[in-house]
Structure 1
Amino acid sequence: MPIHPMLSLTGLLLLLPLAAAATTVNRCHDQGGNVTFTTLSCGAGQDTTAVNINPASGMTFTPPTTKADALHPLRTREAVVVGQRDDGCGNVLNAQQRRTAIINYKTPTGMTKRDVESLLGKPDKIVSRNAEVRYVYSEKKGHSRQVIFDEHGCVKGKR
């Protein structure tokens, strides 16, 4: 029974990504004994050790420890914060305050339009005046709820 040429070609193409997924990781040592792992090249004045890792092989990469780390296992280094979340509203609310407000069905100062729409849904009416946007939500018995946003799309505080 002959194999269709397209079927064999398709089978070969499926195996192609397995060979192309290998990554080279460089282990860089500086003069102070600090170790950095990067897929880029090491900086000037740093020694390098390259390791090829193929995810399809199932091999895991465990960075070797230095002699200094083996001698002082409880030595800690200060964590450096590289970036943080910026919600565009000055980070007035932290994650816990935001969750508590959503659970309690509140719209405190500092919430974003996205947070308000997640909580209350799309507004029934949007009113814009100057740099102020007002979301109007119609509720039961003729009552309405209004949420006022500033020019940055953040809930404004009470005057």
Structure 2
Amino acid sequence: MRIGSGFDVHAFTGGDQVIIGGVRIAHSRALLAHSDGDVLIHALCDALLGALALGDIGVHFPPSDARWKGADSTELLSQVMAMVRARGHELGNADMTVICEAPKINPHVPAMRARLAEVMGVDVDRLSVKATTTEKLGFTGRGEGIAAQATVLLETR
């Protein structure tokens, strides 16, 4: 078994939606990023890569590479899962938390879990997505951005 953890953060910018966990959510702002800014998938990719000691998402999909400009993060996740399987592992489970004041995440959790399960090729019961606020403290509390963290357990096939 191998355990990995990931963390990501993106600041808000102008826009009318965010993408979190592969799900588009209407919001008064968007997330500033080189790719689509899916903070949850980025944290999940970092956790998966970390579990295998393969660096982080920036190593494999660097912002300096124009190929990843505006990239759909579900494609990045698909590629990371291919790396996991190529090394003889499968996801045991993933526990993820989105940290923000807005938008409200809980109404979208079932869709996020379903989308992530589809992209990763795993049963939805292996994926936990939760949300919390920071009680108006720090950058997320001031509504400046969104953070996410993920912990994964990989098992040898």
Question: TM-score surpassing 0.5?
Answer: no
In the superposition, the TM-score normalised over structure 2's length comes to 0.19
Higher share of residues assigned helix? 2
In the superposition, the TM-score normalised over structure 1's length comes to 0.19
| Structure of higher CA gyration radius | 1
Structure possessing the higher relative contact order (Cα contacts under 8 Å, 6 or more residues apart): 2
